[in-house]
Amino acid sequence: ALRLSRDAVRAGVAGVLGVMRHLGMLPPLRTASPGDAPVVWASGWTRAPASGTFLPRVRLGQRVEAGETVGWLTGPAERRAQPVPAAHAGRVLGLATLPLVYAGEAIVH
């Protein structure tokens, strides 16, 4: 009494909008085509070969080949950056967000 349930209101609004779409009063919702999203059959991580600062060279969603440089790893006393090769071919699903990494830490998914 004198109270509205947020879930009940949400369900009611969704129902009314669905009926309006069915009757042609609103445009239909856009449905995703099979080519819109990639299908992932397996996944794996590229891990930091040593501790240091990881500087990614790839973006989320980017395609990479196995062995392609996905970033650079530097240490505090090193003058050169060490390339980090991709362990697998595929799409980049995740990246380390903190630049400081430890040896063996997952850095690119």
Report pLDDT digits (tens) over 3-22.
Answer: 788 888 899 999 999 999 99
pTM to 2 decimal places: 0.62
Cβ atoms within 10 Å, residue 85: 14
Give the pLDDT confidence score for residue 31 in this predicted structure.
Answer: 75
Q: In degrees to the nearest 10, what's the CA dihedral of 67, 68, 72, 75?
A: 10
**CA-wise closest residue to 60 among 33, 21, 100, 97:** 97
Q: How far apart are CA 83 and CA 56, in angstroms?
A: 10
Q: How far apart are CA 99 and CA 109, in angstroms?
A: 15
Share of the chain above pLDDT 90, in %: 65
Task: Taking residues 82-91, report their average pLDDT.
Answer: 93
Look at residue 92 and tell me whether its pLDDT is greater than 80: yes
Is the pLDDT assigned to residue 86 strictly greater than 70?
yes
